[in-house]
Chains A and B, each alone.
Chain A
Amino acid sequence: MIHQGVAYDGLVRTRPGEFGEILQISVSRPAENV
């Protein structure tokens, strides 16, 4: 199952991998307060 949410300006998606969860983050635009 894929989970996703937004951290600052990054869309975070997780999926299970062989050695633990894999995270892919899509950064959409610049952030000032990361």
Chain B
Amino acid sequence: MRLTRGPSLHDISRHIMLGRPDRLMFKKGGKSWIELVVTEMHVVRNEDNVARLLAYQPGHQPGPVLEFWYDLEGRSVCDPMGQPIVVLANAILQTAIQDSHGEILIEPDDEKVSVSYGSAESLHPTMTLPNNLRDSLITRLKIMANISIRIPRRAKALSR
């Protein structure tokens, strides 16, 4: 069941393996959801500088069932099921709800964005996202929560 197909790869210069398969829910339409396992994330450096997210579905074909593509600013290049950042932000929340985690921590460092799940006392890194999704993901979650998307002065100065 391949729902979409991205452009062919030319030059994979960096390959990030997630710590373990991550179960994500993608909205298919209406009240229909697809449960997927995201096992790999590729950062592809070709002439377009795009990042690639591969999603696999347990018990089905060995290949990916979804491919999402992003440019360096985290904007969607291939948009099969709505804006991927919207889907990703929803999936991060949905995963916590499904697995009964009370806390989610989204923390960027100089190379990646870590998403940790757990309780207030104990958080475990579960998902690693490329740094180029940082601003889009954080902005999306802040918009959902009606928080000002203005970048704090300290963070802005340090990111230069």
- Residues of chain B at interface, number, CB under 8 A: 32
* Total A-B Cβ pairs within 8 A: 98
Tell me the bound Cα distance from A34 to B89 in angstroms. 9
Nearest-Cβ distance from residue B122 to partner chain A, whole angstroms: 14
Indicate with 1 or 0, residue by residue over A1-34, a CB within 8 angstroms of chain B CB atoms.
1011111111010101111111111110011001
Q: Is the CB of B90 within 8 A of A34?
A: yes
Main secondary structure of the interface of A (DSSP, over half): strand
Main secondary structure of the interface of B (DSSP, over half): mixed
Say yes or no: A21-B146 contact (C-beta < 8 A), given A7-B93, A27-B101, A30-B97.
no
Does B145 have its Cβ within 8 Å of any Cβ on chain A?
yes
Give the contacting residue for A12; candidates B108, B141, B152, B158; CB below 8 A.
B141
